[in-house]
Amino acid sequence: MSKIERNPTRPVGIGGITIGSGHPIAVQSMAATRTRDIEATIHQIQLLERAGADVIRIAVDSRQDVEALAQISEHAATALSVDLQENYRLIRQVAPLVQKVRYNPGHLYHHEKDKSIRDKVAFIAGEAARHDCALRVGVNCGSVDPDKVGLFPRGDSISPMLASALEHCSLLDEFGFTRYCVSLKDSDPNKVIEANQRFAAKRPDIPLHLGVTEAGMPPEGIVKTRVAFEQLLSRGIGDTIRVSLTLPFKEKGEEIRVGRELLADIDAGRFRSVPYFANQGLNIISCPSCSRVENEAFIDLAHNVRAVTAYAREHAITIAIMGCRVNGPGETDDADLGLWCAPNFVNLKRGAELIGQFPYDEVLDRIKLEVDQFIASA
């Protein structure tokens, strides 16, 4: 029995499990394989199931992915969640195949601009209800609805996320759909803590999915995640978690193991973090990979970037490494150096400015040059 008094969130059923309302905190992960590679994705799901995953997420971006999902879902013993991107209408095809659908409010802004956000959310809620499917309103720091960003002072990245999440909660409630949870993710654990605390204060009834997006590689990614989870879960905030680590496909089960270990430590009062994550040196952010990654070499690249920049560990430089074109362009803008990976080359950025496109085997030399320039100008 947990010693932590949890927030009084409402129950949300996801297949055979329930989150919220005092139920055990569910541990989730995401398949990193291409969804259309049916055999590899089934193998990844089975790996995560053996590791003890409660929910497994799969990205679906096209009708070809939906066709693959129809076969994949037949082999899953664990609740499946689909990650929708701009094409929100795919929920009509995927909802009958899975137990939960995650949509990003920021992505709704870009698709079918002649339709209102209200109409799009009504469509999503209607399909989810018709097929007995739960929803997650997944707000990410790098893809917030531009209309919300413009409402707040420059530099305030948390308030737009919060406003977006609250708006979509109000819409879903208005449509009579209450079987949903919310996530507010950032690569900075301090912002994750603040965003989720502020949301929980306004809507303590809604279950929260916790995660530090693009936490990076172990052990740094585990430290960032632990900082956020310890501060939130110890306050009763959080009903399901995801540990996002940049790992080889065959090691994705490590996310589940780390998640279970963090929950056990927090429940037992074993805390290792400090209240504030004071990152004063080199900070490498990298996504955990998913089916949208178009070249698996991205994972090796992330590890190589860490190795070649190790000499700069005492310098306050942030390097962001993203594996796909969906999150890459926006979620590297705030980094000193950003890399987002295409199939055959890497886009290298200095802040929001594109420096150029480099082959995978040549970009490391340019990164080192850029880091040297940052150090020299500091």
Tens of pLDDT along 179-235? 999 999 999 999 999 999 999 999 999 999 999 998 889 998 999 999 999 999 999
Report the 10 Å Cβ neighbour count for 313: 12
Are 196 and 232 in contact, with CB atoms under 8 Å apart? yes
Whether the model pTM is above 0.85: no
Q: The domain spanning residue 338 has which CATH number? A: 3.30.413.10
Residue 276 pLDDT level (bands cut at 50, 70, 90): very low
Residue 326's pLDDT is 63
Cα 66 from Cα 81, distance rounded (Å): 13
Kindly tell me if the per-residue pLDDT of 343 is higher than 70.
yes
The string of pLDDT tens digits covering residues 143-187 is: 898 889 999 999 899 999 999 999 999 999 999 999 999 999 999
The structure tokens 């990298």 sit at 286
Report the 10 Å Cβ neighbour count for 343: 10
Residue 130's pLDDT is 98
Are 362 and 344 in contact, with CB atoms under 8 Å apart? no
Parent domain of 368: 283-377
User: Nearest 5°: phi and psi at 246?
Assistant: -85, 105
Of the two residues 1 and 39, the one the predictor is more confident about is 39
The structure tokens 């306004």 sit at 202
Among the listed residues 161, 80, 146, 91, the one whose alpha carbon sits nearest the alpha carbon of residue 122: 91
At 164, is the secondary structure helix, strand, or coil?
helix
Q: Are residues 251 and 293 in the same domain?
A: no
Residue 88's pLDDT is 93
* In-domain check, residue 370: yes
Cα 263 from Cα 229, distance rounded (Å): 8
Residue 322's pLDDT is 84
Task: Give residues with Cβ within 8 angstroms of 69, minimum separation 6.
Answer: 35, 58, 60, 82, 94, 97, 98
- Per-residue pLDDT, averaged over 36-44, amounts to 96
| Boundary (domain end) residue, out of 267, 293, 326 | 267
Task: Give residues with Cβ within 8 angstroms of 311, minimum separation 6.
Answer: none
Q: Are residues 230 and 287 in the same domain?
A: no
Q: Are residues 62 and 191 in the same domain?
A: yes
Kindly tell me if the per-residue pLDDT of 355 is higher than 80.
yes
The string of pLDDT tens digits covering residues 285-328 is: 887 777 666 667 888 888 899 999 999 989 989 898 887 766 66
Are 33 and 55 in contact, with CB atoms under 8 Å apart? no
Q: Are residues 198 and 125 in the same domain?
A: yes
* In-domain check, residue 7: no
Cα 281 from Cα 309, distance rounded (Å): 12
Residue 137's pLDDT is 98
The helix or strand, by DSSP H or E, that contains position 195, with its residue range, turns out to be helix 189-202
The string of pLDDT tens digits covering residues 97-138 is: 999 999 999 999 877 889 999 999 999 999 999 999 999 999
Cα 103 from Cα 107, distance rounded (Å): 8
* Number of domains comprising the chain: 2
Size of the chain, expressed as the number of residues it contains? 378
| Boundary (domain end) residue, out of 241, 267, 293 | 267
Give the whole-number percent of the chain exceeding pLDDT 70: 93
In DSSP notation, 332-352 reads TTTSSEEEEE-SS-EEEEETT
Residue 76's pLDDT is 96
Q: The domain spanning residue 53 has which CATH number? A: 3.20.20.20
Are 207 and 19 in contact, with CB atoms under 8 Å apart? yes
Q: Are residues 340 and 262 in the same domain?
A: no
